[in-house]
Amino acid sequence: MRDLRRELQVGTCCGKCVPEAKAALSASLAQVDEAASAAFFPIPAAEFAV
């Protein structure tokens, strides 16, 4: 959030957008974590599927 506030001025006025920005950031980080873990730790059954 600190970077969003600094770079995009998110939440610097009234703050009404902060909850939505936090939710979007959280969802985005979850997708990145999921993609990274799938790349490094593939599901074993998928490797041997026929």
pLDDT tens for residues 1-50? 899 899 999 999 998 999 999 999 998 888 887 777 666 666 665 555 55
pTM of the model: 0.63
Identify the pLDDT of residue 32.
80
Identify the pLDDT of residue 20.
94
Identify the pLDDT of residue 9.
93
Residue 13, by phi and psi: left (phi above 0), alpha (psi -120 to 50) or beta?
alpha
DSSP per residue over 1-49, as a string? Answer: -HHHHHHH-TTSSS-TTHHHHHHHHHHHHHHHHHHHHHHHS--HHHHT-
Residues 13, 22 contacting (CB under 8 angstroms): no
Among candidate residues 2, 38, 49, the one with its CA nearest the CA of residue 22: 2
Structure tokens at 4: 């969003």
